[in-house]
């Protein structure tokens, strides 16, 4: 009985999770083409997951970390364009 329940969980849970997923599409704005380089290493979900926490400084640090720590194939001259795009379109709202 326990094995049958476990098997049902393994089969049903991923199907339900997949049914709720939506494809992430980046907003059309200046710098989008540079930000699309992020897809070389991870999904665009990462951007939405972190958007409420990061301002321009945070996005700059995050992009630099991806390059320096993880070897992301992004040119250093693209960092500012990517961080600007991400902060303006997905950044933490300014404090009131």
**Closest by CA position to 38, among listed 91, 79, 90, 69:** 79
What domains can you pick out in the chain, each with its CATH number? 22-90 (1.10.760.10)
Please provide the distance, in angstroms rounded to a whole number, between the alpha carbons at the two ends of the chain.
56
pLDDT tens for each residue of 21-74: 667 789 999 999 999 999 888 888 888 887 788 999 999 999 999 999 999 999
pLDDT at position 29 is: 96
């Amino acid at each position: 009985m326990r094995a049958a329940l476990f098997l049902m969980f393994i089969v049903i849970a991923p199907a339900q999770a997949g049914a709720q997923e939506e494809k992430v599409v980046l907003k059309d704005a200046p710098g989008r083409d540079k930000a699309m380089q992020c897809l070389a290493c991870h999904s665009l979900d990462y951007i939405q997951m972190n958007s409420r926490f990061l301002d321009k400084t945070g996005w700059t640090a995050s992009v630099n970390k991806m390059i320096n720590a993880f070897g992301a194939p992004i040119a250093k001259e693209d960092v500012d364009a990517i961080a600007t795009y991400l902060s303006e379109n997905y950044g933490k709202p300014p404090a009131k």
